[in-house]
Chain A
Amino acid sequence: MRVVTPVSESITGSRTDVAETPLRVDGVTKRFGGITAVDGATFAVERGTLTGLIGPNGAGKSTTFNLITGMLAPDAGTVTFDGEDITGLEPYEIADRGLVRTFQVARELGEMTVLENMMLAPKDQRGERLWRSVLPVARGGVREQEAELLERVWEILEFFDIEHLAEEYAGNLSGGQRKLLEMARALLTDPDVLLLDEPFAGVNPTLEARLLDHIHDLRDRGYTFLLVEHDMDLIMNNCRHVIVMHQGRILTEGTPAEVKSNEAVIEAYLGGDV
């Protein structure tokens, strides 16, 4: 049973609406031995927003990402995506539903070219069935789709301004270029929600501005972003909603202005026990 909501209504709809908050994290906890890396984290990400997730080193941001995307299984709590409980699903199942992440340390596929890296990403490729790729009768369809994908891939490469690297091995790219490749690759999966783990580390300021423009552009088209970032200014200038983590817990959340003036946040960042 599917409720078709007019676009305008869904944008102005209530916050608790499933269509409005595609991603909900509820009481998620993860312990490694005696350390509680994430402690009952609860938050929701609204559709069509750029939400920032900030916090000092070791606050549990990346672990939270891993818990959301199935790379780690939470000890407690649930993750809901588009109204479905996705806790404990395999990473590929979660990615397949449209919740895709990038990694903090860019994980390029080094001995594959940039184009191969990119061509890997799109979903539902015919040729991923072995028989289709091998059997002469089916191979034509695979090649046709490959040609279409290549065009799309090339557009994205051009957008990210790395098309001159297309035939380069990903392992030869600079740190910033790898970040771009990673984000471009994630976009090719057609995600609804993108979790970006420090996407701008090592990216030059011009490109950073361009990427932000593009992210805003995509957000306007209905994509949703959850962004981990160290650069406070960047978060404050670009996110409407900011979640602050500290020692595994959600310290506070709100608009940048609210967060900025929050005593606890200042204390967490400057070191409470000083």
Chain B
Amino acid sequence: MSANTNTTDDTTPSGLRRLWAQDAVKIAVLLAVIYGAYLGSGLVLGYSVRGQLNSLASLTFYIGVFATLALALNLHWGYTGLFNIGVVGFMAVGIYVMAFVSKPLYGSGGAAQVGGLGLPIPVGILAGMIAAALLGLLVALPALRLRADYLAIVTIAMSEIVRFTFLSSTFQRFQFPYNLAGDTTRVGFGGGSGLILDFPDPLLALIDAAGLSGAYDGLVALVGRIVPNNPDPIVHSLVYGLVLLGVVAGYFWLLKRTGESPFGRVLKAIREDEDVARALGKNTGRFKIISFMLGCALMGLAGILWLMGQGAVTPNFFRPRLTFFVWIALIIGGAGSNTGSVMGGALFAAVLYQGPLYFQNLVTSVFQPGEAPSGFGPAVSPLLSNFDPGPFLLYTLDSIRQLQLVVMGVVLVWLMHNRPEGLLGHRKETAAAIPLVRPRGSAGGGREEGTDPASPSRSDGDEGGDARE
């Protein structure tokens, strides 16, 4: 993250406060608190090491995917004011196209009913992102001319069309040419029974390509000392989680760059009042389309990252509910702020998405309560007849997956009433490539931006960001 590098060693009394003003510090503190809470409660209750590591890995995974999705949606809604409620559609197109391109050819062994084009995984990922962006263009071209709410209707309809397309038996399997000679191979999207993602494990391929397989094996051996029984999957998911956090950092960097620029300024102006931007000579259509396509490509990538390691994908994973999860994450963090998006994604994943499940696992594994009652009646009657809350609590714990949605709803209502602007409050991220403060006189020739005493080290830090990627 670019902000990472510009945390100057502030030794002034206000150093701590200024440190807190750094985006990266806020995010790091929040992550530390989340991980601390997970680890701490597990330790106190005597959760097994394996359970701890597993829950950390899945926590990291969901923080990663929700933060990337919230960041992408923030570009649409927070920056440009484009009301996209079809996030899942772009995710689905991303992973399905990636699978289509990267699955091995049919008949090359394995249980898959259909094959793919057998191209390398990076090509598949790129194709998935491009496909998501092109779908974005297709949706945007007619809808962007209309008012914001029409775009919302078009996007949610599109996401359902995408889901039903992948569900349909027409596209379950078909012949498709896979080389220049025009030979065809059996490909398809698998229909309702899903699509087996039988390409090589992407994480191991990445590690191999980076020449880090030795280090990875060492890590497996190390974890094997703590968790002797089959440490491989644990390490795999932990490392995948770390890679995802790296992707979050990449998104953050890209979108921060995008936002803090004249381009981002026009996006913000479109959000505030598109007529003004047009009256000032900005071709707002171009900006909206680029912003929309970029966000869609990032959503496609997020879909790929979410599912490519899961072994299979089914269309019904991409129900609109998931879109609204991303929206909740964005609203928690504060639309318009990239830092807020990451924090919102992390909080949503930790508290609302994984939290209840973690709590359930923790309680079940630590206290090992008996069977939960089978229905509401048996759960409530002991409570009413002889004030025995046991069955009711068990039933509640058992239905936590369903209650999760209720909790999300309550949180959303509370947020809308009490903090509609989200955690980070106002949309404070300045849309300019340099700090917008009084330029230092006009005498100095004005070329050395950032040396203004009122803006310590901001621009230097940005240079550090330049060098980073």
A residues contacting B by CB (< 8 A) are 69, 71, 90-93, 95-96, 100-101, 103, 107, 109-113, 115-116, 119-121, 123, 125-130, 133-134, 136, 139, 142-144, 146-148, 150-151, 154-155, 163, 166-167, 169, 185-186, 189
Can you list 23 A-B contacts with CB-CB less than 8 angstroms, sorted by A residue number? A90-B283, A91-B275, A91-B278, A93-B283, A95-B278, A95-B281, A103-B275, A107-B275, A109-B273, A111-B268, A112-B265, A112-B431, A116-B265, A116-B432, A119-B262, A120-B262, A126-B262, A133-B258, A134-B254, A147-B446, A151-B439, A151-B442, A189-B280
Give, as a whole number of angstroms, the nearest-CB distance from A38 to chain B.
Answer: 19
Report how far A125 CA is from B459 CA in the complex, Å.
Answer: 19
Residues A163 and B258 in contact, CB atoms below 8 Å apart: no
Extra contacts, 17 of them, besides A91-B279, A133-B433 (Cβ < 8 A), are A95-B278, A109-B269, A112-B265, A112-B268, A112-B269, A113-B430, A116-B432, A123-B281, A127-B262, A127-B433, A128-B263, A133-B261, A142-B262, A144-B447, A146-B432, A150-B449, A166-B436
Residues A112 and B272 in contact, CB atoms below 8 Å apart: yes
**Binary contact readout B276-301 vs A (1 if CB under 8 angstroms, 0 otherwise):** 11111111100100100010000000
Restricting to B431-469, which residues have a CB under 8 Å from any CB of A? Answer: 431-434, 436-439, 442, 446-447, 449, 459, 466-467, 469
Give, as a whole number of angstroms, the nearest-CB distance from B134 to chain A.
Answer: 17
B264 an interface residue at 8 Å Cβ cutoff? Answer: yes
Residues A96 and B281 in contact, CB atoms below 8 Å apart: yes
B427 an interface residue at 8 Å Cβ cutoff? Answer: yes
Residues B272 and A113 in contact, CB atoms below 8 Å apart: no
Residues of A contacting B276 with CB < 8 Å?
103, 107, 109
B residues contacting A by CB (< 8 A) are 254, 257-258, 261-266, 268-269, 271-273, 275-284, 287, 290, 294, 336, 426-427, 430-434, 436-439, 442, 446-447, 449, 459, 466-467, 469
Closest to B260 in A: A133
Residues B446 and A130 in contact, CB atoms below 8 Å apart: no
Residues A120 and B279 in contact, CB atoms below 8 Å apart: no
Point out the residue from A71, A121, A166, A169 that lies within 8 Å of B275, measured CB to CB: A71
Residues B258 and A69 in contact, CB atoms below 8 Å apart: no
Known interface pairs A107-B273, A123-B281; A147-B268 also in contact (CB < 8 Å): no
Residues A100 and B279 in contact, CB atoms below 8 Å apart: yes
Residues A109 and B268 in contact, CB atoms below 8 Å apart: yes
Residues B434 and A143 in contact, CB atoms below 8 Å apart: yes
Closest to A137 in B: B466
Known interface pairs A120-B277, A134-B254, A148-B446; A167-B437 also in contact (CB < 8 Å): yes
Residues B433 and A146 in contact, CB atoms below 8 Å apart: yes
Give, as a whole number of angstroms, the nearest-CB distance from B432 to chain A.
Answer: 6
Give, as a whole number of angstroms, the nearest-CB distance from A115 to chain B.
Answer: 4
Closest to B290 in A: A130
- Identify the interface centre among A110, A150, A189: most chain B CB within 10 Å of its CB: A150
- Identify the interface centre among A103, A127, A167: most chain B CB within 10 Å of its CB: A127
Point out the residue from A109, A123, A126 that lies within 8 Å of B272, measured CB to CB: A109
Residues of A contacting B434 with CB < 8 Å?
143, 146-147, 150
Residues B263 and A133 in contact, CB atoms below 8 Å apart: yes
Closest 8 CB pairs of A and B: A133-B261, A127-B262, A95-B281, A109-B272, A147-B449, A125-B262, A91-B278, A115-B436
Residues of A contacting B268 with CB < 8 Å?
109, 111-112, 116
Point out the residue from B258, B273, B427, B449 that lies within 8 Å of A134, measured CB to CB: B258
Give, as a whole number of angstroms, the nearest-CB distance from B156 to chain A.
Answer: 26
Residues A154 and B439 in contact, CB atoms below 8 Å apart: yes
Give, as a whole number of angstroms, the nearest-CB distance from A144 to chain B.
Answer: 7
Known interface pairs A110-B272, A150-B436; A90-B278 also in contact (CB < 8 Å): yes
Report how far A79 CA is from B268 CA in the complex, Å.
Answer: 31
Give, as a whole number of angstroms, the nearest-CB distance from A154 to chain B.
Answer: 5
Give, as a whole number of angstroms, the nearest-CB distance from B118 to chain A.
Answer: 32
Report how far A110 CA is from B134 CA in the complex, Å.
Answer: 32
Give, as a whole number of angstroms, the nearest-CB distance from B430 to chain A.
Answer: 7
Closest to B440 in A: A151
Report how far A150 CA is from B271 CA in the complex, Å.
Answer: 22
Residues B265 and A69 in contact, CB atoms below 8 Å apart: no
Closest to B442 in A: A151
Residues of B contacting A112 with CB < 8 Å?
265, 268-269, 272, 431
Give, as a whole number of angstroms, the nearest-CB distance from B114 to chain A.
Answer: 37
Report how far A155 CA is from B336 CA in the complex, Å.
Answer: 29
Point out the residue from B257, B272, B278, B446 that lies within 8 Å of A139, measured CB to CB: B257
Report how far A14 CA is from B294 CA in the complex, Å.
Answer: 53
Closest to B436 in A: A115
Residues A111 and B279 in contact, CB atoms below 8 Å apart: no
Residues of B contacting A93 with CB < 8 Å?
283
Report how far A129 CA is from B439 CA in the complex, Å.
Answer: 24
Give, as a whole number of angstroms, the nearest-CB distance from A196 to chain B.
Answer: 12
Residues B436 and A143 in contact, CB atoms below 8 Å apart: no
Residues of B contacting A119 with CB < 8 Å?
262, 265, 432, 436
Report how far A37 CA is from B280 CA in the complex, Å.
Answer: 25
Residues A146 and B449 in contact, CB atoms below 8 Å apart: yes
Known interface pairs A127-B433, A136-B469, A151-B439; A92-B257 also in contact (CB < 8 Å): no
Report how far A128 CA is from B431 CA in the complex, Å.
Answer: 11
Residues B261 and A127 in contact, CB atoms below 8 Å apart: yes
Closest to A130 in B: B263
Residues of B contacting A154 with CB < 8 Å?
438-439
Give, as a whole number of angstroms, the nearest-CB distance from B262 to chain A.
Answer: 3
Residues A129 and B432 in contact, CB atoms below 8 Å apart: no
Residues B262 and A95 in contact, CB atoms below 8 Å apart: no
Report how far A146 CA is from B265 CA in the complex, Å.
Answer: 12
